[in-house]
Amino acid sequence: MWITMDVEEAQDMNFNIKWKKTPDIDYKEPIEWFIKHSKNKTATAFVLGSFAKKHPEIVKELSKHVEIASHGYFHKLVYTQNFKDWEYELLKSKEILEELTQKEVIGYRSPSWSMPFEKRYYEALAKGGFKYSSSYFPMKNYLYGNEINKKKPFIVSTKYGDIQERPIPKDIIPFSGGFYMRVLPLFLLKHFFKKHKDAVMYIHPYELIDKNLLRYFLKYAHINLDYFLAFFHLGSTRKKIKEIVNG
Ligand SMILES: [Zn+2]
């Protein structure tokens, strides 16, 4: 299993959340929890450039324990962005992370799996010095995803070099992170993770706040459908991860 975290702030998410005010979350604690529970495992943190700018000490500490990769600079949906703007932000995030951690950044995950599956994006990644991407989500929903179900990592060859794409796994449905991991019961998750041994797990710092998030975020956001998509999990994430990682 490859444990990954998309390191971003709650207000960066692309769900249509109507914020009342910016959440004042202490990100240090959930990220320390992630470090502790990914010990001796293959783990990567895809860090948003803007997060690294705001919380440099947290990212520096994180880089001592897990691989640091890029999650872009702002959490914009790539398919809504001008290609050149996306490329500029990609390289900017790489530069910031490398300067901060003094380590080479070779991995990229697009915000909300929103990078179109097109050659020019892989070309730009290879040209920019990246070696792999984890931007491929195997089911289309209203926000992101691709229809083709690729089960294993595969290579996209470009004139600037090869990029390995490491897709998110799918069983009957995707299961290995975010909304899917929150809503699926633990017994089913355990079954899926056992069956898909190389599964990529993905989590977010705000999903690891040890509270009932449905209630916790009430002071920050108005209730609508996306509120439930974003925060429904009744504080189950830590327990689920512990059981899956150790089981
Ligand atoms: Zn993200």
Give residue 212 CA to ligand 1 midpoint distance, Å.
21
**Residue indicated by tokens 């599964």:** 199
Sorting pLDDT into bands at 50, 70 and 90, what band is 246? confident
Q: Is the pLDDT of residue 235 over 90?
A: no
Give residue 11 CA to ligand 1 midpoint distance, Å.
10
Q: What does the pLDDT average to over 95-116?
A: 96
Higher per-residue confidence, 193 vs 228: 193
Q: Is the pLDDT of residue 234 over 70?
A: no
Q: What does the pLDDT average to over 220-235?
A: 85
Give residue 196 CA to ligand 1 midpoint distance, Å.
23
Q: What does the pLDDT average to over 80-97?
A: 98
**Predicted confidence (pLDDT) per residue in 72-84, tens digit:** 999 999 999 999 9
Q: Is the pLDDT of residue 242 over 70?
A: yes
Higher per-residue confidence, 61 vs 238: 61
Q: What is the 3-state secondary structure (H, E, C) of 134-162?
A: CCCCCCCCCCCCCCCCCCCCEEEEECCEE
- Predicted local confidence at residue 209, as pLDDT: 85
- Predicted local confidence at residue 72, as pLDDT: 98
Give residue 7 CA to ligand 1 midpoint distance, Å.
7
**Predicted confidence (pLDDT) per residue in 134-160, tens digit:** 998 887 777 777 776 777 899 999 999
- Domains, the chain, in order of start with CATH, read 2-246 (3.20.20.370)
- Predicted local confidence at residue 216, as pLDDT: 87
Distance CA(41)–CA(157), nearest Å, equals 29
Give residue 113 CA to ligand 1 midpoint distance, Å.
8
Give residue 71 CA to ligand 1 midpoint distance, Å.
7
Per-residue CA distances from 179 to 21, 32, 61, 100, 157 (Å):
23, 22, 27, 31, 32
Give residue 5 CA to ligand 1 midpoint distance, Å.
9
**Predicted confidence (pLDDT) per residue in 18-68, tens digit:** 999 999 899 999 999 999 999 888 999 999 999 999 999 999 999 999 999
Give residue 185 CA to ligand 1 midpoint distance, Å.
23
Higher per-residue confidence, 39 vs 121: 121
**Predicted confidence (pLDDT) per residue in 173-220, tens digit:** 889 998 889 889 999 999 999 999 889 999 999 999 877 888 889 999
Give residue 8 CA to ligand 1 midpoint distance, Å.
6
- Predicted local confidence at residue 224, as pLDDT: 92
Q: Which two tokens stand for residue 72?
A: 């872009």
- Predicted local confidence at residue 145, as pLDDT: 73
- Predicted local confidence at residue 79, as pLDDT: 93
Non-local CB neighbours of 107 within 8 Å, separated by 6+ positions: 44, 46, 67, 69, 70, 130, 131, 132, 133, 134
Give residue 68 CA to ligand 1 midpoint distance, Å.
14
Distance CA(84)–CA(192), nearest Å, equals 39
